[in-house]
Amino acid sequence: MEGNGNNKIVKYRRPLNINIGMVIFAVIFVYIVICVFMYFTQKHIEGYQVKTGSLSANNIYRGIALRDEEIVNASQAGYVNYYAREGERVGVGNLVYTLDESGRLAEYMNAETSGAALTGSDLTELKTEILGFVNNFDQRYFSSVYDFKYNVKGTVLKLANASILENIDKINSSGLSELVSFCNAPATGILVYSVDGYEDLTLEQFTEELFDTQNYEKVQLISNELVEAGQPVYKISTNEDWSIVIQASQEKAEELLEEKFVKVKFLKNQDTSWGEVSSYTNPEGDIFVKLTFTNSMVTFCTDRFIDIELILEEESGLKIPNSSIVEKEFFIVPKEYLTKGGNSLNEGVMRETYTEDGTATTEFIETTIYGETETEYYLDDMTLRIGDDIVMPDSEETFTISKRGSLTGVYNINKGYADFKQINVLYNNEEYSIVKSNTQYGLSVYDYIVLDAASVVDDELIYE
């Protein structure tokens, strides 16, 4: 076969095969890289939504109760048996307890009352005692269980012994009358069957150590126990007026003294009462506040340490974090120099300027009002400068801008930029402030503000 010298061998080129999946992956990867870069390089401004609220300080204290307490001692040795319940009011001459030299009276009473049945009113009294304990029991104060135990025991003794006291002749016929002494109340008051050494305590004797409950000792006086002559058998509180003493800081003491009367909530039963305020500072510099009450003494007659909450007036308004608060300076201009003009009805001032030939003229400068007093406005310093002369409307009188003053406020970001708003702080603590709502140049509920005021500057755009 004859060859053809014009034939050429052409190299085959494979067609370009584009993988769509790889392209999409590359685009997504580049997008993620850009977003991550922008996130770490962009300035982050955190916002906070303004809401209504109130601030309450920690006004819970443990106080020491002071009462007019008279300790009654046994006139002779013997076994004591009580006939009145603890916390009960007795009159002068009412039987409180007996002293039995032989110790046989308790056995006689047990024998006489072993088959006795409680009446409906007796059961009601016991149920009231039990329900009161169940409803008010707090595991943090387990010592109240022992108080409840002695209260119930006193109630049972009172009910059981009542039948015997109705017939004293039985005791006389039993041959015990010569060995038993009947002891009556020396005055009208509330009975308490315990002593703790705080009975004669006064405000001027207070020290910080008195509040240490670990060193506190309360001696419970129990029925049918042998007592010696001169030993305490009960105490009686003869005055309904009583007090609670708390330890407080100087600032808190001054605040309470200024109030004169303070509303107090007793945490034991959530009841409230008004206490008259007085104070004492001991030589060591410890400050003690005394709250004096004219009622409720019988409710707490067996308690020496009482937990209370001071119900002070709480300011309510818009609750904002303290980190949002900033101070900013403004120009201060007399109100009569403000006018409206330009192409809008916005307020501003007429600034004096000069033409090229030196002729004096005025131009309207729109400015924002950020606060006011009775005679002056606080104006933005972004459009005006120190030394500018402004002209009073319909007059040739001028005012040279130089006076400056600061306002307390926050940066509002409702419009997408940091806009200063004046606030009127009503009350604050370490974390939050309560500010007045719906003021002319201030905040309203649900506004958004910058959480950290130090992170922005005036009129800075906010990217969320």
Q: What is the pLDDT confidence band of residue 212, given thresholds at 50, 70 and 90?
A: confident
- Residue 268 structural domain: 61-311
352 falls within a domain: yes
244 falls within a domain: yes
User: 158 and 103 in one domain?
Assistant: yes
Per-residue pLDDT tens over the stretch 365-390: 888 889 999 999 999 878 888 888 99
70's CB contacts (< 8 A; 6+ apart) are: 186, 187, 189, 199, 235, 236, 237, 238
pLDDT value of position 142: 66
User: 333 and 399 in one domain?
Assistant: yes
pLDDT value of position 268: 81
Instruction: Look up residue 136 and give its two tokens.
Output: 């008010």
Closest to 282 measured CA to CA, from 214, 196, 209, 179 = 209
User: 299 and 376 in one domain?
Assistant: no
Q: What is the mean pLDDT of residues 447-452?
A: 90
Residue 178 has pLDDT above 90, yes or no: no
Contact of 292 with 241, CB cutoff 8 Å: yes
Q: Any idea how long the chain is?
A: 464
pLDDT value of position 1: 47
pLDDT value of position 259: 86
pLDDT value of position 125: 63
Residue 241 has pLDDT above 70, yes or no: yes
24 falls within a domain: no
Q: What is the mean pLDDT of residues 30-44?
A: 75
113 falls within a domain: yes
Contact of 203 with 66, CB cutoff 8 Å: yes
**334 phi and psi, to 5 degrees?**
-60, 145
SS3 197: coil
pLDDT value of position 361: 86
Residue 161 has pLDDT above 70, yes or no: no
User: 162 and 268 in one domain?
Assistant: yes
Closest to 297 measured CA to CA, from 369, 238, 247, 338 = 238
Per-residue pLDDT tens over the stretch 265-315: 888 888 888 999 998 999 888 999 999 999 888 888 888 998 888 887 666
200 falls within a domain: yes
User: 340 and 362 in one domain?
Assistant: yes
The chain-wide mean pLDDT, for the chain, equals 81
User: 378 and 404 in one domain?
Assistant: yes
416 falls within a domain: yes
Query: What is d(CA 85, CA 155) in angstroms, rounded to the nearest whole number?
Result: 5
End-of-domain residue from the set 280, 295, 311: 311
Q: What is the pLDDT confidence band of residue 139, given thresholds at 50, 70 and 90?
A: low
User: 361 and 303 in one domain?
Assistant: no
411 falls within a domain: yes
User: 304 and 323 in one domain?
Assistant: no
Q: What is the mean pLDDT of residues 447-457?
A: 87
**283 phi and psi, to 5 degrees?**
-60, -25
User: 383 and 274 in one domain?
Assistant: no
Per-residue pLDDT tens over the stretch 396-428: 899 999 999 999 999 998 888 888 999 998 887
Helix (H) or strand (E) holding 251: helix 250-259
Query: What is d(CA 420, CA 439) in angstroms, rounded to the nearest whole number?
Result: 14
Helices (H), 185-237: none
Per-residue pLDDT tens over the stretch 12-23: 566 656 677 777
Residue 120 has pLDDT above 80, yes or no: no
Question: How many Cβ atoms are within 10 Å of 140's Cβ, its own excluded?
Answer: 7
User: 451 and 397 in one domain?
Assistant: yes
User: 391 to each of 39, 330, 374, 375, 386, how far by Cα in Å?
Assistant: 49, 19, 20, 17, 15
Query: What is d(CA 392, CA 363) in angstroms, rounded to the nearest whole number?
Result: 12
Helices (H), 103-142: 105-113, 120-136
79's CB contacts (< 8 A; 6+ apart) are: 99, 100, 101, 102, 103, 105, 106, 224, 225, 226, 227
User: 280 and 195 in one domain?
Assistant: yes
End-of-domain residue from the set 311, 339, 367: 311
390 falls within a domain: yes
User: 173 and 257 in one domain?
Assistant: yes
The domain tally of the chain equals 2
Burial letters 274-290, b for 16+ CB under 10 A, else e: ebebbbbeeeeeebbbb
Q: What is the pLDDT confidence band of residue 206, given thresholds at 50, 70 and 90?
A: very high
Q: What are the helix and strand counts (H, E) for the chain?
A: 6, 32
1's CB contacts (< 8 A; 6+ apart) are: none
Helix (H) or strand (E) holding 213: none
End-of-domain residue from the set 283, 311, 339: 311
Planar angle of CA 350, 354, 355, nearest 5 degrees: 125
pTM here? 0.55
pLDDT value of position 151: 65
